[in-house]
Amino acid sequence: MFAGRVACKMTFSMCRPFYKFTLRKRLFQHKWMTFATNTNISKILGIETSCDDTGCGIVSTDGKLLGEGLFSQQKYHTEFGGIIPPIAKSLHKEHIDNVVNDALKSSSLDISQIDGVAVTVKPGLQLSLAVGVEYAKKLCSQYKKPLIPIHHMEAHALTIRMLEKVDFPFLVLLISGGHSLIAVVKSVDSFLLLGKSYDDAPGEALDKIARRLKVFNLEGMEGLSGGKAIEMLAEQGNYNAFLLGEPLLHQKDCDFSFAGVKNSARQFIIEQEETFSIEGDQVLPTVNDLCASTQFVIAKHLCRRIQRAIAFCQLNQLIPNDKQSLVVSGGVAANKAIKAALWKVCQAYGYSLHVPPPQLCTDNGVMIAWNGAERWIANKGIVSHEQLASVDFQGKAELGEDIRAEVAKASIKCKWIPLNDIFENKSSSGLIQGSV
């Protein structure tokens, strides 16, 4: 059925190491998992360098987090208004050895005790991917370890299974600065793609709107991502103050578009700047309202696409009634208001909502290690140290089997779940905190 280049005057000696290292004392273990096919517990090291964070995680196949290291480049790229690939590559190369060593040290393990090395090979910035793949290959070659190539988005989708009981198949929404998609996860290596973005990802749109609003000139906003800054400012704003147009209202599918949201917000910002005679680094007095209105329209767009995806899955019996779960991951999944809105949709359809903690929603080595562990258990996609030359990286890669045409053909109409109460200033806090 389902058939620019940017000039940069920053010298790398100016980049003081900024390590974000955590070892969670609470170790996660799946008592519900029954891996009868392999009674031995194996240890997998994962390396993530798909974009601007250098991450390493070590997990066991019984669901325990053993160690982790992370170097964040966020504060460097924030200064330039976006990620600069050559800078990202240089910082990855400078810090990857320390990050891996930190993860090993925190786990009290030696590399000889690691059973396999997982590494992100697609999709991502090619210059960044190359650093991680090359490093992982060297480890595997030197210590005679098997390599497990990982699809970055598959790793995001499966991270929750390290923490909670979420059985296949389930619905997943991946929303970040680089991706936006909905898929059915049938197994470790089988996905059905129901929808994806035509243009910008939601995190990208939020970042660009935040920069245009000059929110980083406000006290307390320094060093934050654009999405986090908008979320914080939106708490004091009126979501109905500016009626940003919702994209793709007449398309009965599950695809996304966030470029229109970005352009609509930009037009309101220009009008407001003229109204208040804003100059230079001045910030609009209506910045909170603009942030709230932006967050609201993005949440609405995500929720309506999810509604249709749930309806499509019901129509085609893709997810059994006893396994109706929605997993939401990626950096934007950390947004409390968006989580609360998605929770309300799930509640209306009888779905359970599962969201990893914020530190596992953003790019990290733990999710790569866990995806490697899942593949190790299933014996899927493991490459011996003698066949490392066959592994390469890809800047662009689709997720699973694309059945978006089937979704559009179904032309499903939905009665939209109202979300206004989630975003009301006085009631949103309690709803958001109590929903997931």
Kindly report the pTM of this predicted structure.
0.87
Distance from C-alpha of 274 to C-alpha of 277, rounded to nearest angstrom: 5
Q: Please, are residues 276 and 284 in contact by the beta-carbon 8 Å criterion?
A: yes
Q: Please, are residues 128 and 88 in contact by the beta-carbon 8 Å criterion?
A: yes
Identify the pLDDT of residue 179: 86
204 closest CA partner among 230, 222, 224, 227:
227
* Signed CA dihedral, 137, 139, 144, 150: sign only: negative
Distance from C-alpha of 390 to C-alpha of 69, rounded to nearest angstrom: 28
Identify the pLDDT of residue 82: 67
Mean pLDDT value across the chain? 88
Q: Which residue has 């066949």 as its token pair?
A: 387
Residues of the chain under the 70 pLDDT cut: 1-39, 74-82, 425-436
